[in-house]
Amino acid sequence: MRILVTDGMDKGAIEKVRAMGHELVEQFYEPDELGKALRDFDVAIIRSKTKLRAKQIDEAKGSRFKCVIRAGVGLDNIDVQYAKDNGIEVKNTPKSPSESVAELAMAHMFSCARYISIAGHSMREGKWEKKAYGKGIELTGKTLGIVGFGRIGQKLGKMAKAIGMNVIAFDIFHIPGIEEELGIPYVEMDELLAKSDFISVHAPAVDGGALINAERIAKMKDGVVIINTSRGTNVDEAALLDALNSGKVRAAGLDVYADEPATNVALYSHPMVSCTPHIGSATVEAQGRIGEELVEIISKM
């Protein structure tokens, strides 16, 4: 097969794919060029930077192009159903990034609890504001509510319990036996909102508006911490900013944004926001695992 890699791929995995006899081309294409370029490939491997929308699918359909593989979990940068309706398979690597994303969510929880982001920034400005940032909180004994209890949510739940947090979860799907296995109960959303000191979102992007909006923020505890490493549209950024400014939300840890690269300067520059530029799966280990999962997928094609 002739395979296009648009956003990079683990070098070891590239070597293995080439050793199978496939031709692999590493090349990023702008949206206006992508659809036509895909006509010359059997498979495309993309990450979050590349968007495969109806326009590109229309330009590629009817050619040798037959499959797009998302190197990661989320598929919101692909018009999945439209691709399938036009004979293009859509695959992803859901297992590989779980540890890295869960660890980043935990890191943001610590950062928000102890002012790590803003305190470090102030020191780089030559300030020593020990008193200003001397009112941190501990995670131990606090309640973490996980919205979306798939692989990543479960990993985070295990980590949180290991440091002494109480953990509850909400998901529209209930996995049989998982509550007993992990000691983490499912609860309804309103109960999670009312009981949680920290809320971490790990759900796919959903139609019909943000999972965390003004109405749901109003139901949360005063001083709650909100973490989002899932999809930017899962949290209403305007509502979150208002809640940060009012003090209803103590702090927020964000790795994802409604627009990427992020454009909401007021939000990501807020002193009580710990922010990263969508790096949830950007670890050496995760990229290696993603590469191995990609090799496995290609080997079965």
d(CA 137, CA 182): 25
Using alpha carbons only, give the angle 25, 26, 32 rounded to the nearest 5 degrees.
Answer: 100
d(CA 99, CA 45): 22
Could you confirm whether 151 is annotated as catalytic? no
Could you confirm whether 108 is annotated as catalytic? no
Single out the catalytic residue among 231, 250, 270, 289. 231
d(CA 247, CA 23): 55
Single out the catalytic residue among 114, 250, 278, 289. 278
Instruction: Name the nearest CA neighbour of 68 among 154, 189, 77, 244.
Output: 77
Could you confirm whether 70 is annotated as catalytic? no
d(CA 180, CA 80): 34
Which residues are marked as active site? 231, 260, 278
